[in-house]
Structure 1
Amino acid sequence: MDYTIRPALEDDAADISAVILRALRETNAKDYTNEIIARIALSFSPDAVRRLIGQRTVFVATFRGRVVATASLDGSVVRTVFVAPEVQARGIGKLLMAEIERTARERNIPSLTVPSSVTAETFYAGLGFSSVHDSYHGDERTIIMERLLH
């Protein structure tokens, strides 16, 4: 399939929000309680996503003009990597991460850190990230992972 990776626009905020919320509720819900999912979801309303687009380098993947995934770079930290459930495991996340890495290299960032969900740990490990330590926000477990860029 032919996916396009491009910088996110403010007009993408509602579509990005919808992708994130669906991925949280359908994919991450396998590893997190409903309470944790609900708490995380509060951070990804369309208005919140619009603010993030102004603060970070945000990318989207589109298929036939429709936003199907997103990822962002906040300094040297990879954040908000989500793929719509119906197109997961098709290489879209890898395409987004390649764009994040390319951008980081252009900015001479020596390493990338990602606060990974339990759900995404194997995805990031497959891209060469190593677990550094666990982090907890209440009962929400996040795995801090890092990858050196050569």
Structure 2
Amino acid sequence: MDCVIRKAISTDAVAISLVVAAALRESNAQDYSSDIIEQVQRSFSPSAILDFLSLREVYVASFDGQLVATGSLDKDTVRSVFVDPSYQGRGIGRQLMATIESAASENGVEWLRVPSSITAETFYYSLGFRKVRDAFHGAERTIVMEKSLNG
């Protein structure tokens, strides 16, 4: 069965939180300390996800009926792209990003930005994003990247 991407709904909040936690603990843990992983994970509780649903365009990807990825668009910024580690490398993140880029373009966004984790920098680079600068949130380093949507 193919990957299905749709806008998230409130009943997805727990599953989204679980996908984020799995990705943080298995993928991002290679680049960040356990303290930073714990701090970031707290920002993605089911109640926090419900708040995001009212503030951003949140998308989810399902594979064989199981929610396996999420990502969101906050005006001109991609946020919170996570793929369950057991589904990484199957093109689901790319499909999710294509959906987010399309939505941004439809919203008139000319330059799309993403605050990338160290872990995801090469993924975004492969999609045409380029590094603008490093940003620090306490000890957490992110890489601010951007991409023109005008070709």
Shorter-chain TM-score range: over 0.9
The Cα shift of 1:137 comes to: 1.0
Percentage of identical aligned residues: 53
Structure 2 residue 103 is the aligned partner of structure 1 residue 119: no
CA distance in 2, matches of 1:14, 1:130: 33
Q: Which amino acid aligns with 1:21?
A: A
Partner residue of 1:38? Answer: 38
**Deviation per residue, 1:58-86 (Å, 9 max, x gap):** 00000121110001000000000000000
CA distance in 1, matches of 2:86, 2:16: 15
Partner residue of 2:16? Answer: 16
Which sections of structure 2, spanning at least 5 residues, go unmatched? none
CA distance in 1, matches of 2:47, 2:24: 18
CA distance in 1, matches of 2:54, 2:64: 25
CA distance in 2, matches of 1:139, 1:64: 38
Q: What is the number of equivalent residue pairs in this alignment?
A: 150
Q: Which amino acid aligns with 1:64?
A: D
- SS of the aligned residue for 1:108 comes to coil
CA distance in 2, matches of 1:51, 1:86: 27
CA distance in 1, matches of 2:101, 2:36: 29
Which sections of structure 1, spanning at least 5 residues, go unmatched? none
